Amino acid sequence: MTDSKYIRQARMGDVGSIYEAIRENPEELLPRSYQDVFAHFDRFYVYDDGGIRGVISWQALPLINLENPDHCLEIISFSVRKQDQGQGIGELLLAHMVELIKAMAPDRIIVLTFHPEFFAKYGFTETSKEKLHQKIHVGCLNCVKHKSPLTCPEVAMELVV
């Protein structure tokens, strides 16, 4: 049975398990190098009940327009191990992360996903990728999976905070 008491901030020793959890779902997640996970381990939260069964992280997106700033945080590297999917781990991790991010007082939280119905349960609504200038600038332009951010099949979703 899943329980939120098993969610905690990642530790340095978790990097290998986080790296493997992300790599286990390559069709849904962009890969991250081991060194990138290590450099940002403090932004990860894990579901650990004797073994890491799920991971989630966040990143701040740059301010493109300083005159009218859009304080936007993105949920990234959200993965539940294949054998542990469907047990509520993802729901617990997402709820925990949304609360943590809300405490940082962004204008909105974004996510790119193949499962919009999952995020809709938590108040996220679909938005146009054309409105995500920061995300496109930070990650999408260097994506090796798709020729253009606008042809990527992931659905852009946001939660206005």
pLDDT tens for 95-136 read 999 999 999 999 999 999 999 999 999 999 999 887 876 666
Three-state SS sequence of 44-106 = CEEEECCCEEEEEEEEECCCCCCCCCCCEEEEEEEEECHHHCCCCHHHHHHHHHHHHHHHCCC
- The mean pLDDT value of the chain amounts to 90
Specify the pLDDT at position 158: 95
CA distance 3 to 20: 22
Residue 46 pairs with which residues in a beta bridge?
A: 8, 55
Which range among 32-41, 48-57, 141-150 shows the weakest confidence by mean pLDDT?
141-150
**58 alpha carbon, distance to own chain's centre:** 5
pLDDT digit string, tens, across residues 26-41: 888 888 899 999 999 9
**Residue 91 buriedness (CB in 10 A; 0-12 / 13-18 / 19+):** middle
Domains and CATH numbers, the chain: 4-160 (3.40.630.30)
